[in-house]
Amino acid sequence: MILADMHIHSNFSDGKLSIPELVDLYGSRGFGAIAITDHLCEENTLIGKAARYIGHTLTQATFPLYMQILKSETERAWDQYGMVLIPGFELSKNSVSNHRSAHILGLGISDFINADDDIITLAGKIKAQGGVVIAAHPVSTQKVEKQTYHLWDRREELAHVFDAWEVASGPYLFDEVLHSSLPKIASSDLHSPKQMTSWKTLLYCELHREAILDAVRNQNLEFHFYKSEVTSNDLRNGLDVYSMVGVAGSHALRHVLNSESL
Ligand SMILES: [Zn+2]
Ligand SMILES: [Zn+2]
């Protein structure tokens, strides 16, 4: 059983922490696999240009360094924590209309993709790199923020295009996705350490990158609510205190872990 979070932002887009800080945050808490998935916004839209102006998106200029750091941190995550770090990004199509906005996660990919293409082309380009394609927060996140409904509006047409649809991107389960027959994944969409308390995914597979991607594709997984207290000492000291409470749909409470050793 691998505790995993496959939707995490660093300060290469709008996250608060650097990639090494994220590796330490998750590695010190016993996670077995994480994916760093910074925003990669469209280049030709006004909102995409604004995101580039304020540094909230990967660009063709920053992308090589992003991948270089992910590569070196992949080695450190494994050596130091036995944690698999999967490179990825979140192709972000933002419009003033929630129904024209869509975020698409690509996991296990390392070549730049221009987000201006249409949805089906983008998914195809992720899969052509051997990646997993995930529909990010396709319904209301129940938070006060911009929503992205475009993929859900087209879910019948796009059902075969995505390997999984997020059933959570934070502390709330999405009922519409939960009760659908679509393949699912639960992640945090973490932008700051305060968001560690959220739904995550437990994967049933071997601890290496291809097995992890296959577990998502084949749905060898379940959803677990991960509860975490974060203190200001977390990043200074390397956090070694965590509690995890797991609930998976109608499954009974299965896992409660507690340890304190700060
Ligand atoms: Zn998103
Ligand atoms: Zn995100």
Of the listed ligands, the closest to the CA of 103 is 1
pLDDT at 236: 54
pLDDT at 233: 52
Task: Report CA(77)–ligand 2 centroid distance (Å).
Answer: 21
Of the listed ligands, the closest to the CA of 94 is 1
Task: Report CA(183)–ligand 1 centroid distance (Å).
Answer: 18
Work out the pLDDT band at 234, boundaries 50, 70, 90: low
DSSP the chain: -EEEEEEE--TTTT-SS-HHHHHHHHHTTT-SEEEEEEEEE-SSSHHHHHHHHTT-S--TTTHHHHHHHHHHHHHHHHHHH--EEEEEEEEEE--SSGGG-EEEEEES--S---TTS-HHHHHHHHHHTT-EEEE-S-S--SSSS----HHHHTHHHHTTT-SEEEEEESSSB-HHHHTSSS-EEEE--BSSGGGGSEEEEEE-S-SSHHHHHHHHHTT-EEEEEE-----TTHHHH----EEEE---TTSPP--EEEE---
Task: Report CA(85)–ligand 2 centroid distance (Å).
Answer: 17
Of the listed ligands, the closest to the CA of 115 is 1
Domain residue ranges in the chain: 2-259
Task: Report CA(193)–ligand 2 centroid distance (Å).
Answer: 14
| Integer Cα distance of 254 and 223 in angstroms | 11
pLDDT greater than 60 at residue 102: yes
pLDDT greater than 90 at residue 260: no
Q: Is pLDDT larger for residue 238 or for residue 184?
A: 184
pLDDT at 250: 27
User: In sequence order, what are the residues at sequence separation of 6 or more whose Cβ sits closer than 8 angstroms to the Cβ of residue 256?
Assistant: 243, 244, 245, 246
pLDDT at 3: 98
What would the CATH number be for the domain defined by 2-259? 3.20.20.140
Q: Is pLDDT larger for residue 253 or for residue 166?
A: 166
Task: Report CA(147)–ligand 1 centroid distance (Å).
Answer: 9
